[in-house]
Each structure stands twice: as structure tokens, then as C-alpha cells.
Amino acid sequence: MRKTESYSLKNASLGFKLLATAAILFSIALLGWTWYVSLSVIKFNRPSDMCRLLGDSLWALSQYKKGLFGVLVFFQAAAYGGLYLTSRVLFARTSLRRRMKKLLQAAATLLVAIDLLVWFTAPFIRTSQALVGYIGLASALAMIGLTLPPLIQLWFYQRWPNSKPRRVVVVGGGFAGVYAALGLDKKLGYHRDLEIVLVDRKNFFLFPPLLPSASVGTIETRQVTQSYRRIFETTNIQYKKANVTHVDAKARKVTMHVHLEAEDMADQSASEVTLLFDYLVLAPGATNQTFNTKGAEENALFVKELDDAIKIRDRIIDCFERAAVVQDDAIRRELLHFAVVGGGPTGIEIATEIQDLIHEVLLKRYPEIHKDHPEVYIIQSGPQVLPGWPEKVVETTTRQLKRLGIKLVLNNRVTEVRRDAVVLKEGAPVSARTILWCAGVKPSPLLASCSVVLDKSGRVPVDEYLRAQGFDNIFVLGDSALCIGADGKPLPPLGQVAFQQGDHMAANLARLLQGEPLKPFKYFNFGALISVGERYAAVDLLGVKLTGFIGWFVWRTLYLVKIIGLSTKIRIVIDWTLDLFIERSIAQLENPDTVHKTSADSGRELTATPQ
């Protein structure tokens, strides 16, 4: 097994450990000595007097023993310098989060700077004299606090009861996988006997709830992502970019495919890599469900991956550009019709975002296009949008959709998706050049190659501890798992289910590794929230119902909380703020020759089929 935790302190060389330890102990001794000598000038009776008397003592020294005073100030500065430098070197390698490290270091630096300042000015300024003892004590404690924990981490670590190293492999870095890996790292920290490896075919975490906003440019596309290398930078988690193609559950082996360029392919086997595991977390999510509808895979766009967002935005803008030029009325109508198949949350959010884009930006920029010509449709097979959602949210959403002028086609099934129209079971087809398929998801096809039991929908039934049938060491989470809730129904494919399962699995695996009993998973439903265009949202959160602007504000705040990474949060807030004042870009990013090609033309990979 490769040596892991390269940046963790316990893997440091013996020389480094000895040097760091000597530097810290020497600096602490020096600090103590300067205090002892300073205070011995005037006799103090009780330790509680120490801080108050240090100022008087320093003043006396600076007046009557100037040489000694200079030596003490120098040693004081040297001791802090030693502690400060070693703390910087060691701190970078501890398991604390990056932001926390920076905050603690900044606080300690400030204290030390103030301490040195009051030492220098104590002979001249009365306030410095009064404060020097207290500030000195605080900064000494801060520096010792910063250096001692890493020092302990240098020399000591826990071991499993039987001292056997374990490797946990997490397949899929979505909500479930990332929360599971981070949770485990948080619970067990730098553990010499634990290796956590997360494998994902893309190198970033995607935040799907904001994909509709990215698809219309309210926020820039990259803002809905955070690179795994950044997320895991201060953790004990290794990340591998590869496409997992097969899991041999019995042999405890994950096989993955690494894409290599043509010249590297002389040895074909080089692109196949295997990874052995002790525990496996399967969280490859889901892929688009088209129910084998004719033409859907070839002619529709999807709202699932990052490149989908780029394609949608380009397609909408391109349709406006073409409509502004063509003279044929029927074609112009097709270009300005946007059909969304599926009246679930994704369908509604993307339809209302498109309507906002048209009315807030595009109609202004395309004076050739009459304001009544663009039309957005939502086609839903059932009698209402948002099936299964709280009644009040459904009511408000339907009212708002009508107010926005979005055309609802209910109780009608799509039988075919053509390049220029959606064919319905009943009635005339809806003509449209932009057709978005948001009619549900099906489990990742990878699960069928993982030698675990699947149900008829392709998901993996899990027990109360989220383990696959017949395996104590394989956990299945998120959209891939068939997990039965307290009401006896399967839990829905939602982010809030996925991250709760990730957290829970991490806690359970930590228990398992420490020989403690597991706890069953209990899903907590925080509620439902949906944005319905024009700074309007319907929210039912923990029983509290909000609509309109306040609902929309809560919707945004909650998404912001859940997005991973401070830098991403800041970028999103900036984008949202700019969007209130500055018109968003309508530049097309894709090649103009390919923007109208369908998936079939471009050979785009539509499913998560392993290569």
C-alpha cells in the first residue's frame, strides 16, 4: 500500500520531528526564562500578582539594568520568533480546516505583535507597562496552544484495535460521496491506519440545484462547481479522476478506466487501473430517464451535467439570433418556442429561468422579435405540477407559472421528441427547436456491474445501516440506493437525502472501525423549496410556509449554505448581486456550427455508461 498522508505530521522524518520538537521546547524555555528573570528583579508574593508586577519590573530593569533589559527583550523576541516559525511549519500539516488554521494563525500573529510592542514601549508608556503582563501571558498561551497540538500529532497517533490498515474507496463525488468522505475524515482525522480514496470521472463537485440558474447565465457556469483537490486540500482524502467500470464485491476490487491519449495507448492495459478496498461507498448517482421515448436521447437537451448548462444557454441565444434573421414564420415560431418535458422541480425552475431570461434580457436585445412570439411550455403527464409536493406549494407554484405566462400542458404524455417538435399522446404536437427533458432520473448503469443485488428499477436495496444486501463492507448512498423511509415508501432522489446518508454512513463506519455498534439511518425531511422566476419562490420549511420575495431570499440563502467552498459561495453572491444591476452576457460559448446539432449528431455521451 502506498504511503498516504504525505502532508500529515506523523509521516515526517525523524530529523524533522526532533528539530521541530527541540525548537518548540527551546522557545518555550526561553520564554519562561525571560519572565522568570524579569520578575525576579522585584519580589512578588502571589502568582496572581505576576501580570500586574511585570510592567513595574520591566520599567525598573530599563532604568537601572539597561543591558539586561536589552537581552531580555531580544530573548523574548527570539522565543516568539521560534514558536511562530515552528507553528507555521507544523500548522500547515495538521488536520484542521484551512480557514480555521488561517484564523488561528492570524490571531496568534496579532497577539505576538502587540506583545512585542508593549515590551518595547513598557519603559516609556504607562499603558504598556500596565498591559505587558496580561498581553504577554495571552500571547504565550496562544503560541503554546498553537504548537503543542501539532507536536503531539508528530509523535502520537491512534491505532485500530488490531492495528490493521484499512482502505475506504468512495465511488462518486456527488452529495452522498463527498459528505461521506468528509464526514469520515472529520471523525477520524489523520489516522495512520485509514486511507480514504474518492474516485469520480470529473474533477469537481457539482451543485445541481443551481444548474438551471447557470443555464441562463444568472450565475456563471463554473460557480456551480468546486474542484475536489480544493475541497480535500486539508483532509486525509485522496482524489482520483477515473471512470469506474466494474466492482468485484467479493474480491473487494474496483476497476477504473483512465482516459489516455492515443500515443499512450501502445499498452492498452495501461488505461485500466484497479484499486483494492476494505470498505466501499457506492454513490455514482443517477442518469437521465427517458422511458425509451422515441427521439428523446437524440433531440432533447438535459439538465444534469455542467456541459448541459452551457449547451442550453447557447441554444436559447442561438434560437433568438436565427429567429431575428429568418423570414419563414413557421420556422421563426419553432425557434422561439421552448418546451420543457416534466413538471417536477427541475422542469419548473428551468422553465421559469428561461422565461426570465427572455423577458429581462433577450427581448430588449432583439428588437426584431415581437414580445408575444417567444413561448415557454411545461408538459406534464399527470394532473398537476410538482407531484407529491405540499399542496400549498403546488397551488402557489401553479398560480405563479400562469402569471408568468408559461403554458402548462397537463395530463398528456410525450410519445416522441422530434428535432422541431414534441409529439403528444393527445392533440397537436408542440413545435419547438429547444426541448428540455426533465422527466426524471434512473440509477447509474454502473450499479449493474458491481455484483450487488438490484431492484427492478436498477437501484440497490439497502438495509437500515445503508449496506447492500449480503455485504457488511459495502454502503450504497444517494440516488443509487433504494432506502425505505419511515412511511414505508422509498426515499426520493434528493440532495437532502444524499448528504444525510453521507454523514450518517461516515459516523457508522467510524463506529465500525472502532468496534462500536452501528446506528440505523433515519431521514429527516427539512421540507420543500422551489424558485418560480422573477425573484419569487415557494418554500415549506420545517412547516413554515413562505412565498414571494421572502421565500426567494430564503431559497437563495439555503442554497448558499449548502454549496461547498467559501470561494464558491463568495463568487455566487457576487454573481447574484451583479445580476441585479448589470445585464448578463448573451455571448455564445459554443462553436456556432455545432450549437444546433443534437446529441445524435455530436455523439455526446448521454448516459453514465462506463467506457
Ligand X SMILES: Cc1cc2nc3c(=O)[nH]c(=O)nc-3n(C[C@H](O)[C@H](O)[C@H](O)COP(=O)(O)OP(=O)(O)OC[C@H]3O[C@@H](n4cnc5c(N)ncnc54)[C@H](O)[C@@H]3O)c2cc1C
Which residues make up the interface to ligand X (CB under 6 A)?
Answer: 172-177, 199-202, 208-209, 211-212, 243-244, 283-285, 303-304, 345-346, 444, 446, 478-480, 493-496, 498, 608, 610
Alpha-carbon gap, residue 321 to 432, rounded angstroms = 15
Which residue spans within 165-293 are E strands per DSSP?
A: 166-171, 194-200, 204-206, 225-227, 237-241, 243-248, 253-257, 272-276, 279-282, 286-288
Residue 467 and residue 475 in contact, taking contact as beta carbons nearer than 8 Å = yes
Query: Minimum distance between the CB of residue 209 and ligand X, rounded to whole angstroms?
Result: 4
Whether the Cβ atoms of residue 143 and residue 84 lie closer than 8 Å to each other: yes
Q: Within 10 A of 16 (CB to CB), how many other CB atoms are there?
A: 15
Which has the closest alpha carbon to 128: 144, 140, 116? Answer: 116
Is 147 or 215 the residue whose CB approaches ligand X more closely? 215
Q: Which is nearer to ligand X, 39 or 439 (CB)?
A: 439
Q: Which is nearer to ligand X, 329 or 487 (CB)?
A: 487
- Centre a 10 Å sphere on the Cβ of residue 25 and count the other Cβ atoms it contains: 13
**Closest C-alpha to 608, from 468, 455, 441, 482:** 441
Nearer to ligand X by Cβ, of 169 and 188: the residue is 169
Smallest gap from Cβ 339 to ligand X, in A, equals 17
Write the secondary structure of 63-126 as one string of H (helix), E (strand) and C (coil): HHCHHHHHHHHHHHHHHHHHHHHHHHHHHCCCCCCHHHHHHHHHHHHHHHHHHHHHHHHCCCCH
Quick one: 9 or 498, whose CB is closer to ligand X?
498
CB of 577 to ligand X, least distance (A): 22
**Closest CB to ligand X among 151 and 198?**
198
- If the CB atoms of residues 369 and 378 are measured against ligand X, the closer one turns out to be 378
- Distance from first CA to last CA of the chain, Å, rounded? 27
CB of 386 to ligand X, least distance (A): 12
Residue from 392, 152, 406, 440 nearest 296 by CA: 440
Residue 80 to residue 142: CA distance in whole angstroms: 11
Least distance from ligand X to the Cβ atom of residue 464, Å:
18
CB of 161 to ligand X, least distance (A): 31
Half-sphere exposure of 137 (CA within 13 A, CB side): 13
Question: For residues 302 and 366, which CB has a smaller minimum distance to ligand X in the complex?
Answer: 302
**Looking at beta carbons only, is 132 or 254 nearer to ligand X?**
254
d(CA 47, CA 583): 66
Q: Shortest Cβ distance from residue 481 to ligand X (Å)?
A: 8
Cβ atoms of 551 and 537 closer than 8 Å? yes
Instruction: Give the 3-state secondary structure of residue 253.
Output: strand
Q: Determine the Cα–Cα distance for residues 353 and 330; give it in Å rounded to an integer.
A: 25
Residue 200: which residues within 8 A CB-CB, separation 6 or more?
Answer: 172, 173, 177, 228, 239, 240, 241
- Give the single-character DSSP code of 516: P
CA distance linking residue 494 with residue 515, whole number of Å: 31
Nearest distance, CB of residue 185 and ligand X, angstroms: 17
- Of 417 and 608, nearer to ligand X (C-beta) is 608
- Which has the closest alpha carbon to 180: 190, 188, 170, 189? 170
State in angstroms the smallest separation of the CB of 592 from ligand X. 26
Residue entry with cell 454523514: 503
Is 122 within 8 Å of 128 (Cβ atoms)?
yes
Nearest distance from C-beta of residue 320 to ligand X, angstroms: 23
Q: How far is the CB of 540 from ligand X (least distance, A)?
A: 13
Give min distance, CB of 508 to ligand X, in A. Answer: 17
Residue placing its CB nearer to ligand X in the complex, 231 or 608: 608
Q: Which is nearer to ligand X, 82 or 344 (CB)?
A: 344
Which amino acid is located at 455 in the chain? Answer: D
Shortest Å, Cβ 259 to ligand X: 12
CB atoms within 10 A of CB 33: 14
Counting Cβ atoms within 10 Å, is residue 599 exposed (0-12), middle (13-18) or buried (19+)?
middle
Q: Which is nearer to ligand X, 133 or 212 (CB)?
A: 212
8-state DSSP, 271: G
